[in-house]
Structure 1
Amino acid sequence: MSGLLTVEGGTPLQGEITVRGAKNFVSKAMVASLLGEEASELRNVPQIRDVEVVANLLGLHGVSVEHDPQAGVIALDPRNVEAAHVADIDAYAGSSRIPILFCGPLLHRLGEAFIPDLGGCRIGDRPIDYHLNILRQFGAVVDKRVQGIHISAPGGLRGTQIHLPYPSVGATEQTLLTAVRAQGLTELSNAAIEPEIMDLIAVLQKMGAIISVDTDRTIRIEGVDRLQGFRHTALADRIEAGSWASAALATRGDVFVKGATQPEMMTFLNTFRKVGGAFDVRADGIRFWHPGGELRSIVLETDVHPGFMTDWQQPLVVALTQATGLSIVHETVYENRFGFTDALRGMGATIQIYRECLGGLECRFDQRNFNHSAVISGPTPLRAADIEVPDLRGGFSHLIAALAAEGVSRVRGIDIINRGYENFMDKLEALGAKVSLAEAQGQVALV
């Protein structure tokens, strides 16, 4: 999808939509299928760009991929895995950061891997040095070349001890996908323990891996010689569920998110209630709505799980522009996640950004000149504007703002939203949003 979205705001979103498998899990489970010597089946798979990218990359490496988008089922058979041509892999340079996670599985299956330049949303440094250092600790040889990175394991991969300076999700995934077939024991301390990580561990255990998780964020993996295939249903996408919940709050609407589950969203639900939103947990999903009256300002800090997820922050900030009083948001996960507020200010929001830590504790970005705290004063009416989507979550937040604003907004670059939100245009229409899509002509003035 490439075009210009016209949004007539001011209409509460009302109705029902469905969320399927988590973007931050599904693509990693697809990569994990490379480790098996039998076919795998993944269910509850959403139709998003990241799934398409990983499916194509797997296909380039000889994996048979059969995808039924309507049923949400994807079958992956890696029995004929082979090395892909560098030029073919390079065609995906800049489209996703997922290729770095192919390294461990490919080293086990082929003895080498090639990774092109990596893309992804520009919300912070997100260095791949974590990944490369982890692979080196397992015994891999990393050779940085003009086209990308060539990695080999002439002596095989061996278990090791790894301590992460920060509980990075990507680094934890890299360690898991590499350690399960490495020789010996791997101990990972200060690991990420997000629900998507735990679901990946469940998949690997189904394949034959031996993995234990301690309460102190230590994960121990005993390497095995062989892994089989898996059959697994992906957990629901808690980010998308939270995004639609924030949209319901910002537009004074009422949205039932079918497929959303309570356990992974408890922290979000607490915050949603504090702001003044209402919700009802049902067997098949969660209903979110604005109960009327004033929304309340809050003090909020993002954090790794079980804290408030950074991907929930941007959509919720839009709703906080409609809360009475001063809200303070301290971003501690990504150092550059408030760039999206420029557009909100242009729409009438009163938001100030600060370098200081405005939360209860100093974070790793303190004294490092990053704008990582925000003060939102509300309520402020939002005005329609022309908007350029900056990244996935920021883009959906801009879309929420356009839906809440009075007047007609034009949103350009919405193809980015396809990376993580399945059929979002159909869902907008199902909720009564007044939107239309046309091919973009010329440049759109930025607010």
Structure 2
Amino acid sequence: MNDVLTVHGGTPLVGSLAVRGAKNFVSKAMVAALLGEGPSVLRNVPQIRDVTVVTGLLELHGVQVEDVQGPESELRLDPANVDHAHVADIDAHAGSSRIPILFCGPLLHRLGEAFIPDLGGCRIGDRPINYHLDVLRQFGAVVDKMPNGISLKAPNGLQGTKLELPYPSVGSTEQVLLTAVRAEGVTELRNAAIEPEIMDLIAVLQKMGAIISVDTDRTIRIEGVDRLSGFTHTALPDRIEAASWACAALATKGDIMVHGARQTEMMTFLNVFRKVGGELDIRDEGIRFSHPGGALNSLVLETDVHPGFMTDWQQPLVVALTQASGLSIVHETVYENRFGFTAALRDMGAQIQLYRECLGGRACRFGARNFQHSAVISGPAKLHGADITVPDLRGGFSHLIAALAAEGTSRVRGIGLIDRGYEHFQTKLESLGANYERG
């Protein structure tokens, strides 16, 4: 029963909360500490399950991790005694996390070999590790598939290489960065991802002694170095969590001050929020998001890689769009199955239809592949309570927003998944006046 929230909806969320370091950056910076010859300090670290998983994986490999509680929420990571970890321990600790694939480059440099178990992750579309394995092979890694996972070795060390990604994948770009910085020679990566979290990872690696340049055409060049030191760095704020609370304010006709939210990384979202009719107050300490009190506007939108509208912003926004007047069209171009969460919204009274065609924008790579990747939302819809099972991290938080906006009572199962990326979300709900109980 502890994995269920009983939510009594229909109450506007009003109050303030704080967001800390970005989930999509912090775990990668922790992995980067493996590359250093000295200890690293990472600040503004959220208390989320992904951080716990990476901490355990690092400790299995001999990294000393000290969690310093305090206003700066600091992790100290000392990789002085990096060693091999038992396969069974890695498998047991990683669970469904996909983070172990990013350990491969650093471990190949430090130990000459690495192992990754079968990988899980949110079921939102095809997220194959083939990109990662192909990248590692091009650096000179020997990859062997085994019954319980994948073994990698670098008998001749890792060499710089030229790569071009078929799609600007964030995970593949992270893999190249974490592998290339200590590979021999120069690595050139074309069609790279350039999300703010990627740029913050580059900043961390540069602090460690890496030589990395980013061109305007999405080309990243890395000159390999013999050694790297530790780093001290404050993580950029989580723009996904900030946007999720912003959409909660819209959907529930609320008013939420998000301390730590930063305009720079959220400009595309802020434009859309304003077009929908939401009110913004951008301050030095954060951003206040509120419902205007009147009707919300429908719109046409498509997701894209940075600097486009982030796919992780799409799901909570769709919930808010169920309350907008007229027809909204959302075209998802990043993950082909990211609209699976809308089935629960329809059960709650939302008017959402899914289409295989590329609606509302340019043709994308999913257009001829039979995926329902466009949504038409008709509003405003009167949502009512329902029994919901959380499908994935972002979809789960979006279901929670819908339950809070709906009239009546909802039972939301599987809410433990939300802990992966939303720090103390239940405490934050309480601070906003949400009416719910556990179980």
Asked if Structure 1 and Structure 2 have the same fold, meaning a TM-score greater than 0.5 normalized by the shorter chain, the answer is: yes
Alpha-carbon shift at residue 112 of structure 1 (Å): 0.2
Is 1:411 the equivalent of 2:401?
no
User: What amino acid sits opposite 1:250 in the alignment?
Assistant: A
User: What amino acid sits opposite 2:265 in the alignment?
Assistant: E
Aligned counterpart, 2:36: 36
Is 1:62 the equivalent of 2:62?
yes
After superposition, where does 1:37-436 map in structure 2 within 5 Å? 37-71=37-71, 72-436=73-437
Question: CA-to-partner distance for each residue in 1:22-51, whole Å, 9 max, x for gaps?
Answer: 000000000000000100000000000000
Contact 1:93–1:117 (Cα < 8 Å) also in 2: no
Once residues 353 and 324 of structure 1 are traced to their aligned partners in structure 2, the CA distance between those partners, rounded to angstroms, is 19
User: What amino acid sits opposite 2:220 in the alignment?
Assistant: I
Aligned counterpart, 2:8: 8
Aligned counterpart, 1:23: 23
Contact 1:92–1:116 (Cα < 8 Å) also in 2: no
User: What amino acid sits opposite 2:200 in the alignment?
Assistant: D
Alpha-carbon shift at residue 222 of structure 1 (Å): 0.1
User: What amino acid sits opposite 1:166 in the alignment?
Assistant: Y
User: What amino acid sits opposite 1:427 in the alignment?
Assistant: K
Question: CA-to-partner distance for each residue in 1:168-224, whole Å, 9 max, x for gaps?
Answer: 000000000000000000000000000000000000000000000000000000000
The gaps in structure 1 that reach 5 residues or longer are: 439-447
Question: CA-to-partner distance for each residue in 1:241-278, whole Å, 9 max, x for gaps?
Answer: 00000000000000000000000000000000000001
Once residues 119 and 67 of structure 2 are traced to their aligned partners in structure 1, the CA distance between those partners, rounded to angstroms, is 25
Q: Per the alignment, in what secondary structure is the counterpart of residue 92 of structure 1?
A: helix
Aligned counterpart, 1:443: none
User: What amino acid sits opposite 1:51 in the alignment?
Assistant: V
Contact 2:57–2:94 (Cα < 8 Å) also in 1: no
User: What amino acid sits opposite 2:11 in the alignment?
Assistant: T
Q: Per the alignment, in what secondary structure is the counterpart of residue 346 of structure 2?
A: helix
* TM-score calculated relative to the size of structure 2: 0.99
Once residues 208 and 86 of structure 1 are traced to their aligned partners in structure 2, the CA distance between those partners, rounded to angstroms, is 31
Once residues 69 and 92 of structure 1 are traced to their aligned partners in structure 2, the CA distance between those partners, rounded to angstroms, is 23
Alpha-carbon shift at residue 2 of structure 1 (Å): 3.9
Once residues 141 and 69 of structure 2 are traced to their aligned partners in structure 1, the CA distance between those partners, rounded to angstroms, is 37
* TM-score calculated relative to the size of structure 1: 0.97
Aligned counterpart, 1:444: none
Once residues 160 and 96 of structure 2 are traced to their aligned partners in structure 1, the CA distance between those partners, rounded to angstroms, is 31
- Identity rate, percent: 78
Q: Per the alignment, in what secondary structure is the counterpart of residue 326 of structure 1?
A: strand
Segments of 4+ moved more than 6 angstroms: none
Question: CA-to-partner distance for each residue in 1:327-352, whole Å, 9 max, x for gaps?
Answer: 00000000000000000000000000
Alpha-carbon shift at residue 3 of structure 1 (Å): 2.0
Once residues 361 and 184 of structure 1 are traced to their aligned partners in structure 2, the CA distance between those partners, rounded to angstroms, is 39
Q: CA RMSD for the aligned pairs?
A: 0.8
Contact 1:94–1:120 (Cα < 8 Å) also in 2: no
The gaps in structure 2 that reach 5 residues or longer are: none
Alpha-carbon shift at residue 93 of structure 1 (Å): 4.5
Contact 2:382–2:406 (Cα < 8 Å) also in 1: yes
Once residues 377 and 43 of structure 1 are traced to their aligned partners in structure 2, the CA distance between those partners, rounded to angstroms, is 43
Q: How many residues align?
A: 438
